[in-house]
Amino acid sequence: MRTFHLDRPESIPAAVRALRDPDAQVIAGGTDLITLMRDGVRTPSRLVDVSGLGLDRVDWLPGGGVRIGALHPNSADDPRLRAEYPVLVEALRSGASPQIRNMASFGGNLLQQTRCTYYRLPEFPCNRRNPGSGCASIDGDSSKQAIFGTSGSCVAVHPSDLAVALQALDAVVLVAGPDGDRRIPIDEFHRLPGDTPHRDSALRPGELVVAVELPAVPFARRSHYLKFRDRASFAFALVSAAVAVDQRDGVVRTARIALGGVAPKPWRATHAEQALTGRRLDSAGIDAAAEAAVLGAAPRPDNHYKVQLVRRVVRRALNELGES
């Protein structure tokens, strides 16, 4: 590992000032960044430790909704969060291990890097790690890669469970930076690769995530996260689904369906949402949503299985919601 300078700012403005150095990077729990630095994938000369900024609070907002600080741990599991935003707590609990969840933060989870093997091994070409070098996965193993939103430059999937749940909750990411504060809707926070896969989020240079806000939406309480993976724990999603519905008089008024493990960003399955809206949450409605969830899928030769898996995970997640 290369040597680096460690900054410990005591305020958000001081952190933003430290981040003016283009070679500086935020460190939160370090569960992803330190591994990348150890393996020579990331080589910042300056780390800005944001753990002393009081960003670990959970504040219930007077008008409804909740603001969760960027440094709040992924072990978040308090009874009110569980009751009002079940999909959030279920997604967090499906990730990593208890030890890692204790260290890992909300902000770090959203900004963790892809688990694509070729990204994490510097001996392989990777446009995301080294722009213009090529993509080893396109001619190599792409069995775990994306079926939506890929480009000729990158086919990697986004690994976060939390970010998928946030898509289903219409979350907003609160950011502080050299040009002031910004609010970024979660759907605009992660970027598709296009021909610049190294720019994977909407964060501008020098910006810091300070919190995530969850609005008081009518579909939040009836929400669920289902994750399908190679083994029952300590594994990233092959396919996951975050589902949420608001039903009145037996009819779905609003639906949210977001997918993980299938795209370079958490993937909002808007066709599936539309297919369910105005229908009953019965087997015909659920089948229609599951079928619509795969519209536009463009699998690679070795990951066709994900198309069928999406149908099944969406169907099962909605079924479990129906029973609740």
Ligand X SMILES: Cc1cc2nc3c(=O)[nH]c(=O)nc-3n(C[C@H](O)[C@H](O)[C@H](O)COP(=O)(O)OP(=O)(O)OC[C@H]3O[C@@H](n4cnc5c(N)ncnc54)[C@H](O)[C@@H]3O)c2cc1C
Smallest distance from the beta carbon of 239 to ligand X, in angstroms? 13
Told to check if 200 binds ligand X by CB under 6 A, we report no
Q: Which of 16, 81, 86, 109 binds ligand X (CB under 6 A)?
A: 109
Query: Token pair 């399955």 is at which residue?
Result: 269
Distance between alpha carbon 113 and the CA centroid of its chain, in Å? 10
- Residue with smallest beta-carbon separation from ligand X: 108
Between the alpha carbon of residue 175 and those of residues 2, 210, 268, the distances in Å are 29, 5, 22
Helices (H), 134-208: 136-139, 162-168, 186-189
| Nearer residue to ligand X within complex by CB, 30 or 322 | 30
Which residue type sits at 136?
A
Considering the rule CB under 6 A, would residue 50 count as an interface residue with ligand X? yes
Q: What torsion, rounded to 10 degrees, do the Cα atoms 25, 59, 110, 162 define? A: 160
Q: By C-beta, is 173 or 314 nearer to ligand X?
A: 173
Q: Which is nearer to ligand X, 195 or 230 (CB)?
A: 230
Single out the segment in contact with ligand X by CB under 6 A; choices: 60-68, 130-138, 158-166, 248-256: 158-166
CA 91 – CA 247 distance, rounded (Å): 22
Pairing of strands 46-49, 5-7: parallel
Binding to ligand X by residue 140, rule CB under 6 A? no
Cβ of 228: how many Cβ atoms within 10 Å?
19
- Asked whether position 30 contacts ligand X by CB under 6 A, the answer is yes
Indicate which single residue of 16, 24, 28, 252 sits in contact with ligand X (rule: CB under 6 A): 28
CA pair distance 289, 273, nearest whole angstrom: 7
| Residue of the chain from 162, 269, 289, 292 that contacts ligand X (CB under 6 A) | 162
Which positions touch ligand X (CB under 6 A)? Answer: 25-33, 50, 70, 74, 95-96, 100, 103-105, 107-109, 111-112, 159-162, 208-209, 236
